[in-house]
A and B are shown apart, each in its own frame.
Chain A
Amino acid sequence: MVRLHPLHRLDLLQLLLTAMLVSLGLMAVFSASQPDLKRQLLSLAVGLAAFAAAAALDYRQLRRAALPTYAVCLLLLLAVHLAGHSALGARRWLSIAGFPLEPSEIAKLVILVALADHLARAQGREQRLPTLLGALALAAPPAVLILLQPDLGTAMVFAALCVGLLFLGGASRLHLAGLGAIGAVAIPIVPHLLHGYQRRRLEIFLNPASDPLGAGYNLIQARIAVGSGGVFGHGWLHGPQSQLGFVPERATDFIFAVYAEQFGLLGCLVLLLLFAFLLVRLAWAASVAPDRFGFLIATGVAVMLSFQVAENIGMNIGLTPIAGIPLPLVSYGGSALVTNLAALGLVQSVLLRRRLLVYRPEQVLERYLLNESGTVRLGPEIEAPLRA
């Protein structure tokens, strides 16, 4: 019998890409705000532990816990409304033993698992409308609670996660088109539902020069920082826009501007490619997942990360409105780092439990070896030692 050590199934490439992104993030956080680094390192330690724990945990066990955690998560979000700390006009934080905790970050992962569980249960009924409505019913309550914080950005992440999972999970094209149509109708209404500062952000996005020293300041300063980076950048710790404090919220929302100013176009392309590789690698993980639930976990993480990366970098360079979403793995912020690392750990958990090659003597006759995720045709070079 030939049995592989489970660690051999660990996706080292994903680990490497993650490590590189986190390292770049630490460099950027250090240059943006040195006192924040210590805290970020502490969060990283917690995040690595979360990563390891998530990887070690059999992800299939999560299915049983999916609904209870979902319920606890809703309670936490409710607690934020009642007892949360506010910053910049929004209540987002809870203090847990002195540490600020952002339940909306953890909620991302919990909703992901809940949605994956729901869609996995609906295997074979992906195209049905109740499946889609069920997914929406799961995603809507936390999204609304977060929208009321108000935190438009994170609510948008939830929407993207839900739609992305439905799409990749095989929902009916017609239903998805209908959802898109409803969204298109809703968009003109959105500005009326937004809080003053959110509407302002949207206006500023459409015309940043309308208020250069007020709300448009962030956008303009971030863009100046990115642009002045040029091809090669000013060098680590040397970007005047970030070092002299012109880039606002430079350790969190606008960390990309800080990074771009210091490392220039070349550094930015490296960062983009790292993210692209990581996302494709997550899609690959989905493609080799041993079961439907694992497939949905991996796609969910990929969708969640890709949306956040696109939105954050987009707002830093003026392609998308400012929405207060951190850059995954890079921005300062403990809850987000731990959540994202735990999510990647979950994908590793899926990968650790994939079957590399399965031999069933009764199926050898057909010269096909089946596993749950597909069929593998054996060549003669493999067949021989098997028979031995």
Chain B
Amino acid sequence: MIEPGRWVELAGIEPRPRWTRRLHLFTAIVLIGVTVLSWRLVELQVIQGAGFNRLALINRIHRLTVEAERGVIYDRHGLQLAFNDPAWSLQVTPVGLPDDRGGRAAEYQQLARLSGRTAADIGLAVAADLDPYRPLTIKAGLTQQEAETAQERLPELPGARLDQVPVRRYADPEIYSHVLGYTGRIDGEAYKQLRGSGYLPDESIGRAGVEAGLEDVLRGRNGWEDVETDANGVVKQVLALQAPVAGRSVYLSLDGALQKEAYGRLQEGLAKANSKAGAIVATDPRDGEVLALVSYPGYDANAFAAGITQAAYDKLLADPGKPLYDRAIAGLYPPGSTFKMITGTAGLEEGKITPSTLLGCPSHLSFGAWTYWNWARYDFGLMNVLKAIPTSCDTFFYQVADRLGPDALAAYARAFGYGAVPGIEIPGAQAGVAPNPDYKQSICATPGSPECSWNEGDTVTMGIGQSYVLATPLIQAMYAATMGNSGTLLRPTIVHKVTDGAGTVLTSAQPAVVRQVPISPANLEVLRQGMNQCLNGPWGTAAIARVLGFRWDGGCKTGTAQFGGTGVDLPSHAWFVDFGPYNTPTFASATLLENGGFGEYTAEPVAVNVLDYYFDHRGQINLDG
């Protein structure tokens, strides 16, 4: 029996729940809330589900460009001059960088320390990149030590990674620097124009030399791969890919050994002449293929390939020797006495002289108010053109030029290639100048004034390659080749052949004739004889070649070109142009020593050494690679 007044509990019987109205309302709100959320989920997951699935796909599937490997550059015999070396490169996937501004700035600082670029520069590059999932190269070609340092830091650098990427390397970079040029990152402004051609913002592009001239051939075609990445851009798997097509192999017409010899001899000759800069261009007069193309001083193209620092670049720019300047194709110099065969051609062809016309060779001649001197201060007596060339008689050619006038002289200079950019595959070649009175006006500081009008003095000095005549070593070499090969001006070419990866020849150099110079074979032979006498004749200015031990036969001409206006007292530019062998020339070259003094004393020994080397090795050099 239960005692009255005590609480007693019974199993299984609940008290009647006391649901207040507001408790009911709360329950209703919960149910309404669940309904609203459920409906929204139906909307997102069922109605728009397919769309979100596609967005999720876009999120994680990315098409990344796979850069094509750049074509290898060889000399004519297959010696590797420019190639690709796998090297560590520091990259950043922008999407993996810290989200907050401070974290990013800190990481840019770290990356700047590792790469040698400035943090601001890196920030700009990242900001300019259109695809945040694509790894952006911050610095290519890290040294082993740099790579190790970077490797240690990677864990603190979200989004950064190291990857093996081919980096452009050059064998003997200084010797080939101007021929090959270099590759470098596309700078911001240029990229706007190149984007249409499928370039990536951090892709390397040929910036000079053959690298720039044959960019389209060397570049190849980029491929792509569709990858699945995580949110930080780390690739999880490759889903599909289109392999890139590697760039084509380019065989230059250069002979590597000859190029090296020419560079070395020029260096040597410059040191003796106390000169700082020079150039040698050698070509085959049969087809216009360039066998050596040297501009001194060279520079280290490998520094560019790995991304040159601003400091190093500024240093190159400030170098008084101007190493970035390709004197061989862009250096403009008065040709001096080497021009005399052109004056001779004009005189003979225009009927102002005949091979037997005798003119005096006094120590000086007066034209109007001016007196012009021969290089020798004594009278050589009467001579014909055959003797005037080897003796390099200035007064003889003053008279011929005076008879011709500037327009006729300029016409023949143009016929030999002056005043037109030679069609070599390297960008930056200069045209030289075959001047006339209008030209003088156009470059004159005060056009229309008396000192700007052409005078007789300008004409006569033009006859000895002074006045306003300008030529590049390349133009001079092609001119020498034209003298050698019976008057055919050829287009210079530096590309021997282009092959694909399998070695199939795609294109090979074909001799391209620019024009047949209007000169009769008989007249040409007189001038060629004159050039031969230069070497062999008793009065030959180049007779010193024999003393130097030159054993071969050909034709040549020295030149000592004065330059500059009044008050400038620098040594003359020393020239030497040549071809050989005499009857069937296979070699022609032009050698220039900037401020080298007398051509026969400074340029000639260099040229003779190169000629000797050529003749000793011509069997190999002319061998097709």
| In the complex, residue of chain B having the shortest beta-carbon distance to the beta carbon of A285 | B17
* Among B26-34, B136-144, B292-300, B456-464, the stretch in contact with A: B26-34
**A225 CB-CB contact with B under 8 Å:** yes
**B198 CB-CB contact with A under 8 Å:** no
The answer to whether residues A4 and B46 also contact, given A240-B60, A244-B231, A373-B15 and a CB cut-off of 8 A, is no
In the assembled complex, which residues on chain A have CB atoms less than 8 Å from the CB atom of B20? 168, 170, 287
The answer to whether residues A355 and B7 also contact, given A374-B15, A386-B2 and a CB cut-off of 8 A, is yes
**B516 CB-CB contact with A under 8 Å:** no
21 contacts between A and B (CB under 8 A): A4-B10, A224-B52, A227-B55, A230-B46, A244-B230, A245-B231, A246-B231, A283-B23, A283-B30, A286-B23, A287-B18, A319-B36, A356-B14, A356-B15, A357-B14, A358-B8, A358-B9, A361-B2, A374-B15, A374-B16, A386-B2
In the assembled complex, which residues on chain B have CB atoms less than 8 Å from the CB atom of A241? 56, 59-60
**A276 CB-CB contact with B under 8 Å:** yes
| CA of A292 to CA of B59, assembled, Å | 54
Option from A2, A229, A244 in Cβ contact (under 8 Å) with B45: A229
Q: Is the CB of A362 within 8 A of B5?
A: yes
In the assembled complex, which residues on chain B have CB atoms less than 8 Å from the CB atom of A64? none
In the assembled complex, which residues on chain A have CB atoms less than 8 Å from the CB atom of B13? 356-357, 376, 382
Q: Given contact pairs A2-B9, A228-B55, enumerate 18 new A-B contacts (beta carbons under 8 Å).
A: A2-B10, A221-B59, A227-B51, A228-B56, A229-B45, A241-B56, A244-B229, A272-B37, A276-B30, A279-B30, A286-B23, A303-B26, A356-B13, A357-B14, A358-B7, A359-B8, A361-B5, A382-B10
Option from B17, B29, B41, B53 in Cβ contact (under 8 Å) with A260: B41
- Chain B 40-76 interface residues, beta-carbon cutoff 8 Å to A: 40-42, 44-46, 48-49, 51-53, 55-56, 59-60
In the assembled complex, which residues on chain A have CB atoms less than 8 Å from the CB atom of B59? 221, 224, 240-241, 244, 246
Q: Is the CB of B45 within 8 A of A227?
A: yes
**B4 CB-CB contact with A under 8 Å:** yes
Option from A288, A314, A360, A375 in Cβ contact (under 8 Å) with B17: A288
**B287 CB-CB contact with A under 8 Å:** no
**A30 CB-CB contact with B under 8 Å:** no
Q: Is the CB of B19 within 8 A of A231?
A: no
The 7 closest A-B pairs by CB, nearest first: A227-B52, A361-B4, A245-B231, A287-B17, A244-B230, A359-B8, A228-B56
| CA of A280 to CA of B232, assembled, Å | 42
Option from A224, A227, A317, A357 in Cβ contact (under 8 Å) with B15: A357
In the assembled complex, which residues on chain B have CB atoms less than 8 Å from the CB atom of A374? 15-18
Option from A4, A168, A226, A273 in Cβ contact (under 8 Å) with B11: A4
Chain A: residues with CB nearer than 8 A to chain B? Answer: 1-4, 8, 164, 167-168, 170, 213-214, 221, 223-231, 240-241, 244-246, 260, 264-265, 268-269, 272-273, 275-276, 279-280, 283-284, 286-288, 299, 302-303, 306, 310, 313-314, 317-319, 354-362, 371, 373-376, 382, 386
**B236 CB-CB contact with A under 8 Å:** yes
The answer to whether residues A276 and B17 also contact, given A224-B55, A245-B231 and a CB cut-off of 8 A, is no
Q: Is the CB of B27 within 8 A of A280?
A: yes
| CA of A227 to CA of B7, assembled, Å | 57
In the assembled complex, which residues on chain A have CB atoms less than 8 Å from the CB atom of B9? 2-4, 355-358
The answer to whether residues A310 and B11 also contact, given A287-B18, A299-B23 and a CB cut-off of 8 A, is no
Q: Is the CB of A224 within 8 A of B56?
A: yes
| CA of A241 to CA of B228, assembled, Å | 11
In the assembled complex, which residues on chain B have CB atoms less than 8 Å from the CB atom of A269? 38, 41
In the assembled complex, which residues on chain A have CB atoms less than 8 Å from the CB atom of B36? 319
Q: What is the minimal beta-carbon distance from A230 to any residue of chain B, in angstroms?
A: 4
In the assembled complex, which residues on chain B have CB atoms less than 8 Å from the CB atom of A275? 34
The answer to whether residues A226 and B2 also contact, given A244-B229, A260-B45, A357-B9 and a CB cut-off of 8 A, is no
The answer to whether residues A168 and B22 also contact, given A241-B59, A268-B45 and a CB cut-off of 8 A, is yes
Contact with A along B573-607 (1 / 0, CB 8 A): 00000000000000000000000000000000000
In the assembled complex, which residues on chain B have CB atoms less than 8 Å from the CB atom of A386? 2, 10
| In the complex, residue of chain A having the shortest beta-carbon distance to the beta carbon of B17 | A287
- Chain B 228-281 interface residues, beta-carbon cutoff 8 Å to A: 228-232, 236
| CA of A354 to CA of B16, assembled, Å | 12
Option from A283, A355, A376 in Cβ contact (under 8 Å) with B26: A283
| CA of A362 to CA of B2, assembled, Å | 11
| CA of A356 to CA of B3, assembled, Å | 18
Q: Is the CB of A168 within 8 A of B5?
A: no
Count of A-B contacts judged by CB separation below 8 Å? 191
Q: What is the minimal beta-carbon distance from B352 to any residue of chain A, in angstroms?
A: 78
| In the complex, residue of chain A having the shortest beta-carbon distance to the beta carbon of B48 | A227
In the assembled complex, which residues on chain B have CB atoms less than 8 Å from the CB atom of A284? 17
Q: What is the minimal beta-carbon distance from A232 to any residue of chain B, in angstroms?
A: 10
| CA of A274 to CA of B563, assembled, Å | 97
| In the complex, residue of chain B having the shortest beta-carbon distance to the beta carbon of A227 | B52
| In the complex, residue of chain B having the shortest beta-carbon distance to the beta carbon of A287 | B17
| In the complex, residue of chain A having the shortest beta-carbon distance to the beta carbon of B58 | A224
| CA of A3 to CA of B19, assembled, Å | 26
In the assembled complex, which residues on chain B have CB atoms less than 8 Å from the CB atom of A288? 14-15, 17-18
Q: Is the CB of A376 within 8 A of B15?
A: yes
Option from B10, B49, B60, B236 in Cβ contact (under 8 Å) with A231: B49
**B166 CB-CB contact with A under 8 Å:** no
Q: Is the CB of A317 within 8 A of B22?
A: no
Q: What is the minimal beta-carbon distance from A277 to any residue of chain B, in angstroms?
A: 10
Q: Is the CB of A231 within 8 A of B23?
A: no
**B428 CB-CB contact with A under 8 Å:** no
Q: Is the CB of B15 within 8 A of A231?
A: no
| In the complex, residue of chain B having the shortest beta-carbon distance to the beta carbon of A244 | B230
**B362 CB-CB contact with A under 8 Å:** no
| CA of A319 to CA of B43, assembled, Å | 12
Q: What is the minimal beta-carbon distance from B169 to any residue of chain A, in angstroms?
A: 37
In the assembled complex, which residues on chain A have CB atoms less than 8 Å from the CB atom of B34? 272-273, 275-276
Q: Is the CB of B41 within 8 A of A302?
A: no
| CA of A140 to CA of B3, assembled, Å | 50
Q: What is the minimal beta-carbon distance from A285 to any residue of chain B, in angstroms?
A: 9
In the assembled complex, which residues on chain A have CB atoms less than 8 Å from the CB atom of B625? none
Q: What is the minimal beta-carbon distance from B520 to any residue of chain A, in angstroms?
A: 76
**B132 CB-CB contact with A under 8 Å:** yes
In the assembled complex, which residues on chain A have CB atoms less than 8 Å from the CB atom of B37? 272, 310, 313-314, 317, 319
In the assembled complex, which residues on chain A have CB atoms less than 8 Å from the CB atom of B49? 227-231
| In the complex, residue of chain B having the shortest beta-carbon distance to the beta carbon of A306 | B30
Option from A170, A224, A246, A360 in Cβ contact (under 8 Å) with B22: A170
| In the complex, residue of chain A having the shortest beta-carbon distance to the beta carbon of B29 | A306
In the assembled complex, which residues on chain A have CB atoms less than 8 Å from the CB atom of B33? 306, 310
In the assembled complex, which residues on chain B have CB atoms less than 8 Å from the CB atom of A1? 2, 8
Q: What is the minimal beta-carbon distance from B600 to any residue of chain A, in angstroms?
A: 71
Q: What is the minimal beta-carbon distance from A36 to any residue of chain B, in angstroms?
A: 17
| CA of A286 to CA of B30, assembled, Å | 15
Q: What is the minimal beta-carbon distance from A229 to any residue of chain B, in angstroms?
A: 5
The answer to whether residues A283 and B46 also contact, given A245-B230, A269-B38 and a CB cut-off of 8 A, is no
Q: Is the CB of B23 within 8 A of A223?
A: no
Q: Is the CB of B53 within 8 A of A360?
A: no
| In the complex, residue of chain A having the shortest beta-carbon distance to the beta carbon of B1 | A388
| In the complex, residue of chain A having the shortest beta-carbon distance to the beta carbon of B7 | A358
